[in-house]
Amino acid sequence: MSRLRTLSLAALLLAPAAWAHFGMIIPSDSMVMMEDNRTLALTLSFSHPCEAEGMEMARPAAFGVIADGSRLDLSATLQPTQVLGHAGWKAEYAVKRPGVLTFFMSPQPYWEPAEDCFIVHHTKSVVAAFGEEEGWNQPVGLPLEIVPLTRPFGLYAGNVFSGVVLKDGKPLAGAPVEVEYYNRDGRLSPPNDYFITQTVLTDERGAFHYSPPAAGWWGFAALVEDEKTMPREGQEKSVELGGVLWVEFTAWPGP
């Protein structure tokens, strides 16, 4: 049994909700229209989103955007902030032309003593601007990432969202993908801990499918144990590698 699976079983036995970590990039809008504010506010954090509990996040190792096929480093725009009562980061980005913007972040390793391992969640969020929708299914090239198979904007709650998990650019079969709702205001009260984090597995092509039942931001986190370890107090420790994608779903406007 893999260490990641062993940790997952231990989490279920002890406290399922306490083990669901998510890297987060939440933009102020997932779609920017002509009449909208053209400056996006982006919030970066490391949190338990459904429980609305934050964790301390060091300055990201990398933060940028893919726009018009070009990769732009946005690290210099980061400013410290508080997210769910803990250290996070914020940035602004001026949208100047039509396009699909894929924001990405690679964090510094987070030491999790409860799991006796490091956690590194490479995180993405996609924003469409001024009617353009080409390029939303292009990979960024992160060590582990979710590439959308469903257009990741302009979605209603209840739509089926599909994605493919890529590890080092290749589809990853049988990988767990954890799914959580961003319970930003803390109003959601799940019936019990099993409802906090839902899990699907990728198929033989590395694909997964999920239908969020409510409007809001939903995080999808593919998880694997990295082949590499990291030193901690004279010992080599395992690394949980995550590929996270945040997608906004909107309530159906009709009757």
Q: Which of 224, 219, 216, 223 is nearest to 245 (CA)?
A: 219
Contact 56, 44 (CB under 8 A): no
Alpha carbon distance 197, 17 (integer Å): 7
For 99, the token pair is 């396009």
Position 137 pLDDT exceeds 50 = yes
- If pLDDT is split at 50, 70 and 90, which confidence band does 52 have? confident
Alpha carbon distance 243, 107 (integer Å): 11
In angstroms and rounded to an integer, the radius of gyration of the C-alpha atoms of the chain is 17
Alpha carbon distance 176, 167 (integer Å): 13
Q: Judge if pTM exceeds 0.95.
A: no
- If pLDDT is split at 50, 70 and 90, which confidence band does 254 have? confident
Q: Quick one: pLDDT at residue 13? A: 39
Q: What are phi and psi of 5, to 5 degrees?
A: -70, -40
